Homo-oligomer: A and B are copies of this chain.
Amino acid sequence: MGTKPEAFNSYREKMNERLLGAENNKVIKRIFNVDTNAYLEGQLPVKTKEMLGLVASMVLRCDDCIRYHLIKCHENGMTEAELMEVMGIANLVGGTIVIPHTRRAVEFWDELNA
């Protein structure tokens, strides 16, 4: 059932190019720009911000968003022990409907570490 990081990234890039290359897409383009800025180093370190993005994606139950932030958290040194605590809060606040997304999250996490 899983989605591999490579397939995820290449689809994401292909469709982002399609969207950012379209005419009359100013609002979408600006949202993409803000998105890049929101996770830059600031008062909070990048790793913390990416964990904030991860927990928000989990409680909103967006698998692709979860995968994206898992990649970024992984790049920024989040450990599996930390991931478990983030996922604990997500499942507690968001309820057991978050469990299926947690299963897919940990499967993707294992791919990132493979």
Contact = CB atoms under 8 A, between A and B. Distances in A.
Contacts of A100: 62-65
A23 B30 CA distance: 22
A51 B23 CA distance: 19
A61 to B, nearest CB: 7
B42 A34 contact: no
A27 B88 contact: yes
A39 B23 CA distance: 17
A113 interface: no
Q: How large is the interface on A (under 10, 10 to 19, 20 to 34, 35 or more residues)?
A: 35 or more
A87 interface: yes
Nearest to A94: B95
A111 interface: no
Interface string A82-97: 1011111111111111
Contacts of A53: 89, 93
A64 to B, nearest CB: 4
Contacts of A55: 52, 55-56
Nearest to A22: B84
